[in-house]
């Protein structure tokens, strides 16, 4: 495994991180708790020391699973979780108010069974709460020893700059894949300049870049591959399959090509990859055993269709 120090911190994190949205069994057609625990242990055994979760993943179930994993691995693991997405019946609301954050952090600490969260991130922007109030609350939690570092997720450049004016933000978590390279326009250059670590999620485009889908699948309306990773629609699916055929000329597993394309980009601290079981966890970590050459990167960029900008 390779490791990079998250800028402005003492956190040396694995370049492949474990994303755990699937662990919550929500929006991903379910996942067995035992399989999730085994997957996390497999990833750790093969050098992954960075785990990212969130209370919204399965109404806290993902955090509870990671809490079980941390019992025997706390000293080896850097754990990140989030705040700001609240489930209200069937609705999800955005809430980064001081009162909500203070409530969320206590619940996360309890589920994770730890005393301090290494990286605490705003999950999504909250248009109804001034960013200075949110950042002030996070600074207070930091001074209380409940969180070590402050990160944000899914913020645009203007909001990121605004947040930085009120608190030291060390990381930005954002979607980045062969299919969605929108951060290359402004966020990636800015974070490189300001030494803000980028945690890239969705490197496999919700699984479509794994190469396992040869026919267009159909998911339930609540599945993330239907409403969040919108790459499975007929026209887009066909375009992606054409691009994947070209990538086969590199003669490496497609999912590893997709992961390494993001992992090797300057400014990327860690690529967050999800998994359902031990086998998937192992194949993801194997990506670090080789690198794409400059010629292969150029080949990919010539032949791969970008779907989201």
User: Of 3, 57, 120, 176, which is the active-site residue?
Assistant: 57
Domain extent listing, the chain:
3-208+262-291
57: left (phi over 0), alpha (psi -120 to 50) or beta: beta
CB-based contact 20:53 (threshold 8 Å) = yes
What's the pLDDT score for residue 308? 65
Please name every residue paired with 122 in a beta bridge, in sequence order, or none if there are none: 83, 152
Residues recorded for the chain = 309
DSSP characters over 50-109: EEE--TTTTTTHHHHHHHHHHTTTGGG-EEEEEE-EEEETTEEEE---HHHHHHHHHHHH
Query: At the top level of CATH, which class does the domain 3-208+262-291 belong to?
Result: alpha beta
What's the pLDDT score for residue 216? 80
What's the pLDDT score for residue 224? 67
As averages over each run of 10 residues, the pLDDT of the chain (309 residues) reads: 96 97 72 89 96 94 95 92 90 95 98 97 97 98 98 97 97 96 96 97 91 79 71 84 92 95 97 92 94 96 78
| 57 given a catalytic annotation | yes
What's the pLDDT score for residue 23? 87
Quote the CA–CA distance of 209 and 287 in Å, as a whole number. Answer: 14
Quote the CA–CA distance of 292 and 295 in Å, as a whole number. Answer: 8
Quote the CA–CA distance of 126 and 35 in Å, as a whole number. Answer: 34
What's the pLDDT score for residue 279? 92
């Amino acid at each position: 495994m390779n490791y990079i120090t998250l800028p402005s911190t003492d956190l040396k994190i694995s370049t492949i991180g474990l994303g755990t949205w699937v662990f919550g069994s929500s929006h991903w057609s379910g996942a067995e708790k035992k399989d999730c625990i085994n997957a996390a242990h497999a990833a750790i055994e093969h050098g992954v020391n960075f785990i990212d979760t969130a209370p919204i993943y399965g109404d806290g179930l993902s955090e509870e699973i990671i809490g079980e994993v941390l019992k025997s691995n706390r000293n080896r693991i850097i754990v990140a979780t989030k705040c700001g997405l609240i489930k209200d019946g069937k609705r999800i609301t955005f809430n980064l108010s001081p009162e909500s954050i203070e409530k969320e952090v206590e619940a996360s600490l309890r589920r994770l069974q730890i005393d301090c969260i290494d990286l605490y991130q705003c999950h999504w922007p909250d248009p109804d709460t001034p960013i200075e109030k949110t950042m002030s609350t996070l600074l207070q939690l930091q001074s209380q020893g409940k969180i070590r570092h402050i990160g944000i997720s899914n913020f645009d450049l203007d909001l990121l700059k605004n947040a930085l004016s009120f608190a030291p933000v060390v990381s930005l978590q954002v979607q980045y894949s062969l299919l969605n390279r929108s951060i290359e326009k402004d966020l990636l250059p800015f974070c490189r300049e300001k030494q803000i670590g980028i945690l890239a999620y969705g490197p496999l485009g919700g699984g479509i870049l794994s190469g396992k889908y040869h026919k267009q699948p159909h998911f339930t309306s609540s599945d993330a591959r239907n409403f969040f990773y919108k790459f499975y629609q007929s026209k887009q699916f066909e375009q992606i399959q054409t691009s994947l055929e070209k990538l086969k000329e590199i003669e490496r597993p497609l999912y590893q090509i997709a992961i390494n394309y993001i992992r090797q980009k300057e400014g990327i601290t860690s690529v967050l990859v999800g998994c359902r079981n031990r086998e998937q966890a192992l194949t993801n970590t194997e990506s670090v055993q080789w690198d794409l050459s400059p010629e292969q990167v150029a080949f990919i960029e010539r032949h791969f269709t970008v779907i989201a900008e």
